[in-house]
Chains A and B, each alone.
Chain A
Amino acid sequence: AQSVTQPDIHITVSEGASLELRCNYSYGATPYLFWYVQSPGQGLQLLLKYFSGDTLVQGIKGFEAEFKRSQSSFNLRKPSVHWSDAAEYFCAVFGGATNKLIFGTGTLLAVQP
């Protein structure tokens, strides 16, 4: 069955430090993968997506993610975190014929000054 796992429920980093949020997926074919960010009381904003081609994708707000088929992973990275990056981050895979997005349980990011 298609699924997404985000192993880290909560991460705290210092402002200016680098960030990596983990995502593992289970999908039979070539996946379409996404990272979304959700600020308190807000909907979901798309940070970046991977469909095919270059396995390192660039997104908004200085985020990037790398698709690694051998590890079934799509980890999100940022070289220097800003206080405004504090939010919840969701990894998702497109469920193909089911026409839905399948989300992980999210990683809550806290940023220390």
Chain B
Amino acid sequence: ETGVTQSPTHLIKTRGQQVTLRCSSQSGHNTVSWYQQALGQGPQFIFQYYREEENGRGNFPPRFSGLQFPNYSSELNVNALELDDSALYLCASSLVTGGSYNEQFFGPGTRLTVL
């Protein structure tokens, strides 16, 4: 069983640029959540995708957007990068079957540095 994978591992961008981060969910999972973890902080929820539609969003501006594909992999896009966007971006997948909670399995993350 393949776990959650993310690419790239590290990325350096400059202010104002756009970035796309990718996540492959664990086999059999249908839901992907994205989190931002700034240095010295806990992960903060960005949004979640279920069956290719956004299914919950945290307190992040619209320049953070996402996609989920038919194979349940996902992308996180950030436009007009700011210095404060420098962080570890974590993807988590889960299998939502209608229960109240479904365990989220985390990938290793993508470290984004904005200069």
Binding site for B on A (CB under 8 A): 4, 32, 36, 41-46, 49, 51, 90, 92, 94-95, 98-106
Contacts A94-B101, A100-B48 hold; do A44 and B90 have CB atoms under 8 A apart? yes
- Collect the chain B residues with CB atoms within 8 Å of residue A103's CB: 35, 42-44
The answer to whether B33 touches A100, judged by C-beta atoms less than 8 angstroms apart, is: yes
The answer to whether A90 touches B42, judged by C-beta atoms less than 8 angstroms apart, is: yes
A-B contact count (CB 8 A): 55
Q: Which DSSP category, helix, strand, loop or mixed, fits chain B's interface?
A: loop
> Which of chain B's residues has its CB closest to A6's CB?
B42
Interface residues on chain B, number (Cβ under 8 Å): 23
**Which residue in A46, A90, A95 is a CB contact (below 8 Å) of B43?**
A90
B4 → A minimal CB distance (Å)? 7
- Collect the chain A residues with CB atoms within 8 Å of residue B104's CB: 101
The answer to whether B106 touches A100, judged by C-beta atoms less than 8 angstroms apart, is: no
Task: Verify if B55 is at the interface (C-beta below 8 Å from A).
Answer: yes
B22 → A minimal CB distance (Å)? 15
- Collect the chain A residues with CB atoms within 8 Å of residue B56's CB: 98-100
The answer to whether B42 touches A42, judged by C-beta atoms less than 8 angstroms apart, is: no
**Which residue in B40, B58, B100, B107 is a CB contact (below 8 Å) of A43?**
B107
The answer to whether A42 touches B40, judged by C-beta atoms less than 8 angstroms apart, is: no
The answer to whether B101 touches A105, judged by C-beta atoms less than 8 angstroms apart, is: no
A104 to B42 alpha-carbon distance, docked (Å): 6
